[in-house]
């Protein structure tokens, strides 16, 4: 999929600023002591996206660049901000922008443009998506993520939550090329004729990539020992996923914005139902069961989905499915702004 390794765009000037990141996993954020108005421009478009085996799938997508990308860009803001979203629709069928779990929703008619202004919801991880046709539009590619940080805080997902050194986003998705071929042959509006129960995914993605393209520095987890990372897991797909972490158990700190300041559970498998958003801490501790005992040596461990069909792609080309890596004892090639010292923050 067309993904830039670390795309981070800011548009300043006057009272309006835009904070949009590309479909990356390592999220950058510099907290502010003041609220801002955030201008976001998204266009719903369609196009062919190349899959891991070289074939293409016709998909929809939210774009801020004019290029078809799935998922759409990540919207990053903080509590207290006001978002002014302009939704343009280049498709020949209506498109919805909605944020499940909130009242945020706007519809753009075919070839139309709409604008909505809304206050940033409570801090947390959110999906935005087209909610029409029992999830067909969402799975066809009309989805992305929105991350709301607490005001003035750079290393907690919510006030009173566990601290972290870096934060990553894993947006889980599925691709059914048969759906795409039918829409391409019959026109954009054919999405309303697709029966959701006919869903048969052949590609399973993290941040738009199947393995082994999902092994890149913004999706693989990197950190030195003792540098915990927040992982924002979001499921935009049409099936249940079960990310299984090797090396360390993760600490579940939020489930669909229900935040746990204490009594957090430790899991090696995190169940992700469609539309779920769950935040976990990967602690980057010495692996407790490794032999010989690991002290400071770098170690790589896999994450793979325990839902059997999503370990593969294209009907059986293991391991081109939902899979990535945790690199313990290694720093990422690109750091996020979360590593800046407090004295260097604006």
CATH code at position 66: 2.60.40.420
Q: Are residues 107 and 211 in the same domain?
A: no
Among 122, 149, 176, the domain boundary falls at: 149
DSSP of 65-119: SSS--SS-PEEEEETT-EEEEEEEE-SSS-EEEE-TTSS-EEEE-TT-EEEEEEE
Helix locations, the chain, DSSP H: 136-139, 177-186
pLDDT in tens, 323-333: 999 999 998 87
Q: Are residues 103 and 170 in the same domain?
A: no
Q: Are residues 140 and 261 in the same domain?
A: no
Integer Rg of the chain from CA: 19
| CA 76 to chain CA centroid, nearest Å | 11
Residue among 96, 165, 86 nearest 129 (CA): 96
- Tokens 């993904």 belong to 3
Q: Are residues 319 and 180 in the same domain?
A: yes
Give the pLDDT band of residue 14 (cuts 50, 70, 90).
very low
Q: 10 Å Cβ neighbour count for 240?
A: 14
Residue 127's beta-bridge partner residues?
145
The mean pLDDT of 20-29, rounded to a whole number, is: 66
3-state percent helix, strand, coil for the chain, nearest multiple of 5: 10, 40, 50
The mean pLDDT of 305-310, rounded to a whole number, is: 86
Q: Are residues 295 and 174 in the same domain?
A: yes
Residue 342, pLDDT above cutoff 60 = no
Q: Indicate whether 270 belongs to any domain.
A: yes
Q: Are residues 180 and 139 in the same domain?
A: no
Give the pLDDT band of residue 24 (cuts 50, 70, 90).
low
pLDDT score, position 264: 94
Q: Are residues 89 and 211 in the same domain?
A: no
Q: Are residues 49 and 172 in the same domain?
A: no
Q: Are residues 257 and 318 in the same domain?
A: yes
Give the pLDDT band of residue 174 (cuts 50, 70, 90).
very high
In the chain, the percentage of residues whose pLDDT exceeds 70 is 89
Tell me which residue range forms the domain holding 282. 166-339
pLDDT score, position 288: 82
Least trusted range by pLDDT, from 192-196, 247-251, 318-322:
318-322
pLDDT in tens, 125-167: 999 999 999 999 999 999 999 999 999 888 999 999 999 999 9
Map 294-340 to HEC letters.
CCCCCEEEEEEECCHHHHCCCCCCCCCCCEEEEEECECCCCCCHHHC
Domain count within the chain: 2
Q: Are residues 239 and 334 in the same domain?
A: yes
Q: Is 197 exposed, middle or buried (0-12, 13-18, 19+ CB in 10 A)?
A: exposed
CA-based max dimension of the chain: 62
Residue among 8, 47, 3 nearest 27 (CA): 8
Q: Are residues 107 and 207 in the same domain?
A: no
Rounded to 5°, the CA angle 224-229-230 comes to: 175
The mean pLDDT of 278-287, rounded to a whole number, is: 95
pLDDT score, position 338: 46
pLDDT score, position 32: 83
Among 149, 184, 211, the domain boundary falls at: 149
Q: 10 Å Cβ neighbour count for 318?
A: 11
């Amino acid at each position: 999929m067309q993904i830039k390794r670390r795309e981070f765009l800011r548009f300043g000037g006057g009272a309006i600023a835009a904070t949009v990141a590309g479909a990356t996993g390592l999220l950058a954020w510099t907290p502010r002591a003041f609220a801002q108005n955030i201008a976001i421009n998204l266009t719903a478009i369609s196009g062919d996206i190349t899959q891991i085996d070289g074939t293409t799938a016709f998909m929809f997508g939210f774009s801020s660049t004019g290029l078809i990308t799935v998922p759409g860009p990540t919207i990053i803001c903080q509590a207290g901000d006001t978002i002014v979203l302009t939704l343009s629709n280049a498709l020949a069928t209506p498109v919805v922008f909605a944020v499940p779990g909130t009242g945020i929703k706007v519809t753009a008619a075919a070839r139309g443009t709409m604008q909505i202004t809304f206050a940033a919801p409570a801090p947390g991880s959110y999906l935005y998506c087209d909610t029409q046709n029992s999830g067909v539009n969402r799975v066809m590619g009309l989805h992305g993520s929105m991350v709301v940080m607490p005001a003035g805080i750079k290393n907690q997902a919510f006030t009173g939550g566990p601290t972290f050194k870096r934060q990553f986003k894993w947006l889980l998705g599925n691709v059914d090329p048969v759906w795409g071929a039918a829409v391409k042959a019959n026109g954009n509006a054919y999405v309303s004729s697709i029966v959701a129960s006919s869903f048969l995914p052949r590609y399973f993605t993290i941040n738009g990539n199947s393995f082994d393209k999902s092994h890149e520095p913004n999706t693989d987890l990197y950190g030195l020992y003792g540098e915990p990372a927040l992982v924002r897991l979001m499921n935009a797909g049409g099936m249940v996923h079960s990310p299984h972490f090797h090396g360390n158990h993760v600490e579940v700190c939020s489930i669909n914005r229900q935040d746990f300041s204490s009594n957090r559970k430790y899991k090696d498998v995190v169940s992700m139902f469609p539309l779920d958003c769950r935040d976990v801490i990967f602690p980057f501790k010495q692996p407790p069961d490794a032999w010989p005992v690991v002290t400071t040596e770098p170690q790589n461990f896999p994450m793979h989905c325990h839902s059997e069909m999503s370990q593969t792609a294209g009907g059986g080309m293991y391991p081109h499915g939902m899979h990535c890596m945790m690199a313990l004892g290694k720093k990422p090639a690109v750091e996020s702004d979360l590593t800046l010292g407090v004295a260097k923050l604006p």
